[in-house]
Structures are given as structure tokens and as C-alpha cells.
Amino acid sequence: MKYEGWPDEGELVVGKVDDIEDFGVFVDLEEYQDKRGLVHVSEVASGWIKNVRDHVNEDQTVVAKVLDVDESAQQIDLSLKDVNDHQHSDKIQEWKNEQKADKWLTLAFGEDMADDQFRHIANGLLADFGSLYDGFEQAAIHGHEALEGTDLDEDERDAIVETARDNVSVPYVTVTGYVTLTSPDADGVDDVKAALQAAEGNGEVPDEVEMDVTYVGAPEYRVRVQAPNYKTAESELEAAGDRAVAEIGDLGGNGEFHRERQLDEE
């Protein structure tokens, strides 16, 4: 997707070196429709520059900082030297992510998608998430709930969620805790099973969360939670432990949730 309009002063932009002159470098902006910027020789690199071609090559993809925008003169002044390695890496990754999201839009709505529909959907995602990629990522994690605040209709939301869940690699984190469960009753095994089922949420765990409860060694069980972020993972882990302890308590047994495995004393 190429944006209409102009970049903002201070913005980092991705471009391709189009022409190299003694006085500077012309760069075609990859993210903006029909926009070209100039990197003056003094902004190509720090220090004295003998030959501009020692620092850049034609067709090279670069990250530049926007120094000034003069719409009336159709001029964009850029700097390469004001972009550090970390900024360069992050911006290139962001740009690559948006290219992926462009392809996902085509997958979701077809090659024959009308330009006005493309703009409508793209602008809807940009308005709420800041980027197409973030919109798809949130749709993959949270489903339709993530898109409720957008201007997209139900069919458009369905298409985005389905495509996102088929294509987006969602970053997950994993946290682990333990529960000890005991019951003095003759049916104590069944009581423990009920408590473990309660820990697993009885089917009420959010779609984006994966929970696994496994046997460690009586009376201890491991609860592992995988979620899109630590806040959700920790919250769901604590809730699982609380459910197990409450259930075994209601059945006359005892339970305790802890983060580290309890080792038997020698």
C-alpha cells in the first residue's frame, strides 16, 4: 500500500535510490504515491564526503529521516546520516510487515478488489491500529472483538479474521505454575479430576489462550498457559490456579497454587 499525501517532518521513510549526483541523492519513497525526496550530500553521511557513490548505490533500499516538506515546491528533503542502525532495522521490518499485510488484503478480498474498497478497509485498519499489519495481528489474536471499533462491516471483518488466522504468525509467551491437590475422601481421585477440569476452565478459556494441565507427581500438577502477552498469560494462570483450589476446597479437599515446583524433602 502506498499512502496518498505527504510524509511528516521527522518521519522515517523507506525509499529506493533513484539517481546519484555530486550534490546529493534522489530517493523514490516506497510508502508514498509518486513522491520523491532529495538527500543533500551533507546529509548522506557524517564527515567529509569525497564521492557520494562510496556511501550509496543506485536501486539501494534506504531508510531516511524527513527533514522538510515543501508541498508547493513538490520538494522533500531527507537525511540518511540522522538514521541509526536500530532505527533502520526497525523501519525496514515495519515496511516488510506492511507489504505482508497488503498481500493479506488481496487474499481476503481477491485480486479484483476495487480501489475504493481497498482504501475503505485500509483506512479503517489504519485509523484503529496505526498499521495494516497490527490490524491483522490483533484480528488473529482476538478475532472479531479486535475489529468492533472499526468502520468495517460484518462480512469484511469475517474475511480479515479468517485471513489473519490463516497467515499471521502471532508472538506468544508461556508461563507455568503448579497446584497441589489432595482429598481425604474415598472418591478423592474423582475430586482431583474435577479440580483439574476446573483449572482448565471448562471450555471458558479465551480463544487466544492455550492451557495445558499435566501430572508431575502426586499431589502436584503443572499448569502451563500460552497467550499473546504476559499480562494475559499471568492472569489466566492465576485464574486457573484459583479455580482448581476453589473446586477441591468445595469438595472437602485441600489445594494450593504456587509458581515453583515443590520438591519433596529428603
Whether 211 and 228 share a structural domain: yes
Q: Of 82, 116, 139, which one is at a domain's C-terminal end?
A: 82
**Residue at 247 is within a domain:** yes
Work out the angle at residue 27's Cα, subtended by the Cα atoms of residues 20 and 29, and round it to the nearest 5 degrees.
165
**Residue at 1 is within a domain:** no
Q: Is 199 exposed, middle or buried (0-12, 13-18, 19+ CB in 10 A)?
A: buried
At 197, which CATH number? Answer: 3.30.70.1130
Task: Identify the pLDDT of residue 184.
Answer: 87
Cβ 39 vs Cβ 24: under 8 Å: yes
Q: Which domain holds residue 132?
A: 86-167
**Residue at 6 is within a domain:** no
Whether 189 and 253 share a structural domain: yes
Whether 65 and 95 share a structural domain: no
pLDDT tens for residues 211-250? 889 988 878 999 999 988 888 888 999 999 999 999 999 9
Whether 215 and 145 share a structural domain: no
**Residue at 3 is within a domain:** no
Q: Of 127, 150, 167, which one is at a domain's C-terminal end?
A: 167
Task: Identify the pLDDT of residue 169.
Answer: 82
Whether 109 and 126 share a structural domain: yes
Task: Identify the pLDDT of residue 10.
Answer: 96
At 55, which CATH number? Answer: 2.40.50.140
At 149, which CATH number? Answer: 1.10.150.190
Mean pLDDT of 242-266: 80
pLDDT tens for residues 113-160? 888 888 899 999 999 999 999 999 989 888 888 898 898 999 999 999
Percentage of residues of the chain with pLDDT beyond 90: 64
Q: Of 82, 106, 137, which one is at a domain's C-terminal end?
A: 82
Number of domains in the chain: 3
**Residue at 266 is within a domain:** no
pLDDT tens for residues 45-79? 998 999 999 999 999 999 999 999 999 999 999 99
pLDDT tens for residues 181-213? 998 888 788 999 999 999 998 777 887 888 889
Task: Identify the pLDDT of residue 262.
Answer: 58
**Residue at 2 is within a domain:** no
pLDDT greater than 60 at residue 264:
no
Supply 19's cell numbers: 539517481
Whether 156 and 181 share a structural domain: no
- Residue bearing the bigger pLDDT, 4 or 25: 25
pLDDT greater than 80 at residue 266:
no
Task: Identify the pLDDT of residue 101.
Answer: 95
Whether 177 and 247 share a structural domain: yes
